[in-house]
């Protein structure tokens, strides 16, 4: 999943206009609404681990946190069912939210160690 340049430009603006909102709603429906809400509620976290300097993106869902590989993969159930298995789509709202958050610079930043990362990954990698 990658957004067209014209949409990246729309998301880069300081404030989305009503026109932008309508455009995205028409194109992406509920996924856009949920993604935008997640961004507004600061549910997206960018972890940076040292000393490896590796970066991991997380989106906080209702019950747990999902690991998102930008434009590619999410550990949530709907991505697994709708994108991997039935191939109806190539994104879930978490993937969309990560892109919006990154473009708009509206995410939380956390730093941690590679040692801690191994522990966090056990939880993040769960796909149930």
> Among 74, 83, 100, 101, which residue sits at the site for Zn ion (rule: CB under 5 A)?
74
**Residue 55 in tokens:** 């970066």
Tell me how far, at minimum, the Cβ of 23 lies from Zn ion, in Å: 23
Across the strands, what pairs with 74? 68
**Residue 27 in tokens:** 């194109």
Residue 76's alpha-carbon distances to 4, 53, 63, 93, 128, in angstroms, are 24, 25, 11, 10, 7
Select from 7-15, 48-56, 82-90, 94-102 the region that touches Zn ion (CB under 5 A): 94-102
Select from 14-22, 25-33, 73-81, 104-112 the region that touches Zn ion (CB under 5 A): 73-81
Would you count residue 76 as binding Zn ion (CB under 5 A)? yes
């Amino acid at each position: 999943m990658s957004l067209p340049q014209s949409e990246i430009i729309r998301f880069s603006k300081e404030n989305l206009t009503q026109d932008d909102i309508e455009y995205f709603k028409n194109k992406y429906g509920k996924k856009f609404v949920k993604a935008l809400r997640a961004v507004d509620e600061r549910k997206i976290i960018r972890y940076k681990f040292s000393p490896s300097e590796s970066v991991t993106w997380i989106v906080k869902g209702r019950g747990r946190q999902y690991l998102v590989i930008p434009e590619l993969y999410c550990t949530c159930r709907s991505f697994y069912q709708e994108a991997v298995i039935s191939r109806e789509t190539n994104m879930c709202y978490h993937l969309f939210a990560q892109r919006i958050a990154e473009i708009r610079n509206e995410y939380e930043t956390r730093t941690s160690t590679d040692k801690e990362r191994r522990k966090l990954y056990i939880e993040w990698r769960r796909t149930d």
